[in-house]
Amino acid sequence: MGETITFWVLAVVSVGAALGMVFNRKAVYSALMLGTVMLCLAVLYAVQDAPFLAAVQIIVYTGAIMMLFLFVLMLVGVDSSDSFVETLKGQRVWAVLAALGFLALIVLAVGNAIFAPQAGLAQATGQGGYIRSIALLLFTKYVFAFEITSALLITAALAAMVLAHREKLTEKATQKDLSRARFLGDHPSPLPGPGTYARSNAIDMPALLPDGSVAETSVNRYIARYDVEHDHLPEDPKLADAIKHTAELDEAPTEAEKDAETNEVTK
């Protein structure tokens, strides 16, 4: 009775999590839903008196395979916007063919589970225990499917690199180009550190130049915007004005952002 209740509860949870993984727009939520499905499978294995499979499901799939998906998220970026520019020609056709092939495999698997005669746990593990039976099936009858699964994992790693790929519209600047642009700009020397010649060496305090003026370039623009939003401004009006001015410059679009916006419009 307890096994039946556990099965139906976990079946509803796992199917709901699987649907949420497919139809969710957030990649992080999809990864969490996938982890839920894997944990439900591990519990079902444990209920069916297969602790080895339950441990492998948690250690290998929930641990190692989920780490692969996390690497994909780190490469692609959680907050990255969807790109509608297809860098691979003909990928939709191959995606439709792969989807049809996967649908055919699902239909065959469901039909085999419904119409095939039931073997039972005693018959399946009658060759020296369930660990030996699993090893014999993996390296004899299902060795081709086992190798295909390993190839799919490698394909997932390659897919992560393809998803992280971005089209470069301009050549990447070399160190020589960056050095030349730096000396031709307004600040050939390194920017002053925050708090230099000031009463405080805090990272959110502007530096004071030797003549007593405030160096606005010494404050990080993100920190300046945070101080303005949370009203953490210093009492000195000169320092407060410098932080406010830096925060205002942060809100204005930079040249790189303008170029990126222009490139998107051009596309």
Q: Spell out the domain ranges in the chain.
A: 1-76, 129-162, 192-265
Q: What share of the chain has pLDDT > 90, as a percent?
A: 6
Residue bearing the bigger pLDDT, 157 or 251: 157
pLDDT digits (tens, 9 = 90+) for 10-26: 999 999 999 998 888 87
Give the span between the Cα atoms of 179 and 163, in whole angstroms.
32
Paired sense of beta strands 207-208 and 214-215, if any: antiparallel
Give the span between the Cα atoms of 18 and 21, in whole angstroms.
5
261-to-70, 124, 184, 214, 232 alpha-carbon distances in Å: 29, 61, 26, 33, 33
Q: What pLDDT does 211 receive?
A: 80
**Summary mean pLDDT of the chain:** 78
Fold of 1-76: Four Helix Bundle (Hemerythrin (Met), subunit A) (1.20.120)
198-to-194, 225, 228 alpha-carbon distances in Å: 9, 20, 20
Q: Is the pTM of this model over 0.85?
A: no
